């Protein structure tokens, strides 16, 4: 007689996983390979997910940290979804490189906001995490000293601007909505005339994924966030789940990383995924639990998403809207 598997209720948060910016970035690499053949070069991880990066490597993408690792020639070079400092495309132009910018349009929006504030004579505060590629790219849009990074309310308390009446703030797109709210409130209290974005900088996908994990956290014994350790939005999901009522929340890259010793006795499990984690890894995690538990799955949807971003004009196929016009032969 076989031992009966323990029952486990799995709540799948929705939306989860890939956002429109990540889909566009991956599509850019795959379309460049389709149109131009192997190899194409990608500066930094196209998105923060090892599985995605390894998959693209197998298809012919070569990942580099800096442009000086790319040999001279006409091979395409792609900039990651997180955005790059202005010095990077300038260096690419100097070398006559064929480059494609996979920066998420919502990150580009923040770049444009920063440039507009700077042109209007404002000193800029960026709410974000030091060392994150998006922060490096945003701060690199303007001359040194034009943007001051604040990571928490203590940084706000210590910050003294040149002119408190000519101050504006922008934010990294992948932050915790709740944590950022506190920092913004601290800025607005200390600097009542500070200018904020016309529309919140934190992207729709980050907000939606945080709201969806909040909706399941308090009924779960454990919440697993499928994502990469260097993915800001994935790390924020873990924090949000803990704050929303599930102290036993953790990040896993894939099923093989699950620590089964901490799963003893759980009866309810929440699963979500960061914006750069593919659904195949979520399915892999659910299947791993099916091997050890009698699993019933309930999807908890808090929002429908239908956002789509177009590919760069150079990569659109003939006949697609906005495709380059071919000269008659």
Whether residue 126 contacts residue 194, with contact meaning beta carbons closer than 8 Å, is answered with no
Helix then strand then coil, % of the chain, to nearest 5: 40, 20, 45
What one-character DSSP code corresponds to residue 255?
Answer: G
For residue 108 the two structure tokens come to 């580009």
The whole-angstrom separation of Cα 79 and Cα 64 is: 10
The whole-angstrom separation of Cα 140 and Cα 198 is: 22
| Residues in contact with 119: Cβ distance below 8 Å, sequence separation at least 6, in sequence order | none
Q: Give the burial string for 181-193 (b: 16+ CB within 10 Å, else e).
A: eebbebbeebbee
Q: Which of 134, 185, 239, 305 is the catalytic position?
A: 134
Positive/negative CA dihedral, 36, 42, 46, 49: positive
In the residue annotation, 134 being an active-site residue is answered as yes
Residues in the chain: 329
Give Cα 220 distance to the centre of its chain.
Answer: 25
Whether residue 67 contacts residue 97, with contact meaning beta carbons closer than 8 Å, is answered with yes
**Catalytic residue ranges:** 134
């Amino acid at each position: 007689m076989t031992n009966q598997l323990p029952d486990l209720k799995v709540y799948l948060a929705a939306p989860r996983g890939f956002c429109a910016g990540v889909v566009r970035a991956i599509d850019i690499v795959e379309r460049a390979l389709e149109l131009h053949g192997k190899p194409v070069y990608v500066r930094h991880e196209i998105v923060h997910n090892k599985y995605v990066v390894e998959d693209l490597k197998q298809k012919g993408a070569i990942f580099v940290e800096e442009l000086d690792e790319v040999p001279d020639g006409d091979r395409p070079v792609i900039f990651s979804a997180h955005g790059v400092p202005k010095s990077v495309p300038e260096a690419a132009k100097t070398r006559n490189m064929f480059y494609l910018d996979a920066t998420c349009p919502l990150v580009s929006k923040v770049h444009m906001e920063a440039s507009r504030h700077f042109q209007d004579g404002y000193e800029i505060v960026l709410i974000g995490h030091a060392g994150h590629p998006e922060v490096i790219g945003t701060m690199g849009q303007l001359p040194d000293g034009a943007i001051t990074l604040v990571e928490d309310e203590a940084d706000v308390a210590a910050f003294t601007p040149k002119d408190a009446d000519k101050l504006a703030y922008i934010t990294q797109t992948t932050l915790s909505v709740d944590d950022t709210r506190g920092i913004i409130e601290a800025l607005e209290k200390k600097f009542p005339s500070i200018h904020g974005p016309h529309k919140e900088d934190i992207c729709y996908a980050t907000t939606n994924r945080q709201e969806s994990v909040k909706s399941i956290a308090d009924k779960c014994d454990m919440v697993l966030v499928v994502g990469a350790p260097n993915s800001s939005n994935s790390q924020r999901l873990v924090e949000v789940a803990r704050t929303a009522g599930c102290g036993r929340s953790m990040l896993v890259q894939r099923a093989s990383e699950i620590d089964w010793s901490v799963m003893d006795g759980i009866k309810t499990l929440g699963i979500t995924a960061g914006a750069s984690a593919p659904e195949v890894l979520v399915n892999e995690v659910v299947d791993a639990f099916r091997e050890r538990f009698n699993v019933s799955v309930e999807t908890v949807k808090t929002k429908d998403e239908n956002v789509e971003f177009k590919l760069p004009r150079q990569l659109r196929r003939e006949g697609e809207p906005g495709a380059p016009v071919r000269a008659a032969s």
